[in-house]
A and B are shown apart, each in its own frame.
Chain A
Amino acid sequence: DSGVTQTPKHLITATGQRVTLRCSPRSGDLSVYWYQQSLDQGLQFLIQYYNGEERAKGNILERFSAQQFPDLHSELNLSSLELGDSALYFCASSVDVRDGGELFFGEGSRLTVL
């Protein structure tokens, strides 16, 4: 158990809909990362938050957004869903990278868009 909690574990929805994925980082970790894992693209970095503020952005679509709340949990919002958004979405957390330390991944939220 990595200590990172993601909900829901599975989600099935239709094209055009909007979903929210939730992540609780490990206790004490200030950084939260979102990654997408699909069969054709592999694991792709989407976005990082540190202590409530966006720190880095990767290959995140404009239809997707995220935020980190004062209690450090994070949500990834996916809107106007398309078939190609079907994937595993992982949240990961770490202490401030400047101090070293590894990245801990949750077990993922599997999104299926029909």
Chain B
Amino acid sequence: GESVGLHLPTLSVQEGDNSIINCAYSNSASDYFIWYKQESGKGPQFIIDIRSNMDKRQGQRVTVLLNKTVKHLSLQIAATQPGDSAVYFCAENPLSGAGSYQLTFGKGTKLSVIP
């Protein structure tokens, strides 16, 4: 079936460098995408979202890029800090017009920041 997946299971970056986490999705009906951060022992925490009518959205130190042509989503973290170490999930909501967050999550990428 259709699903959201991640290219890399682990990513190690030096503190201060930029991080890029990638995600491929296959459900062309999805029109809402979210990145979540999950720290050890905690629930997923919203980072940033983007709707399909956009190709870029920026937050504080984070940018999400959406390429609908190749069904690719990425999360860029600028000046990565040790507190950014976590597992990052992309998620899609194929039914965003139905009043429901039936999110399909990717498997996750573990980001480790090297001090």
A98 in the interface (beta carbon within 8 A):
yes
Q: In chain A, residues 60-114, which have Cβ atoms closer than 8 Å to a Cβ of chain B?
A: 90, 92, 94, 96-98, 102-108
A10 and B33 alpha carbons, distance in the complex (Å): 31
Per-position contact with A for B71-115: 1 when CB-CB < 8 Å, else 0?
000000000000000000101000110111111111110000000
A-B contact count (CB 8 A): 60
Q: Which residues of chain A are near B106, meaning CB under 8 Å?
A: 42
What distance in Å separates the Cβ of B36 from its nearest Cβ neighbour in chain A? Answer: 8
Chain A interface bracket (under 10, 10 to 19, 20 to 34, 35 or more): 20 to 34
How many chain-B residues does the 8 Å CB contact rule pick out? 23
Contacting residue for B99 out of A43, A58, A96, A108, CB 8 A = A96
Closest B residue to A47 using CB positions: B102
Residues of B within 8 A of A (CB): 34, 41-46, 49, 89, 91, 95-96, 98-108
Residues of A within 8 A of B (CB): 2, 4, 31, 33, 35, 42-45, 48, 50, 55-56, 58, 90, 92, 94, 96-98, 102-108
26 A/B residue pairs, CB under 8 Å, sorted by A: A2-B45, A33-B101, A42-B106, A43-B44, A43-B91, A43-B103, A43-B105, A44-B105, A45-B102, A45-B103, A45-B104, A48-B101, A50-B99, A55-B99, A56-B98, A90-B43, A97-B96, A97-B99, A98-B99, A102-B34, A102-B49, A103-B34, A103-B46, A105-B45, A108-B42, A108-B43
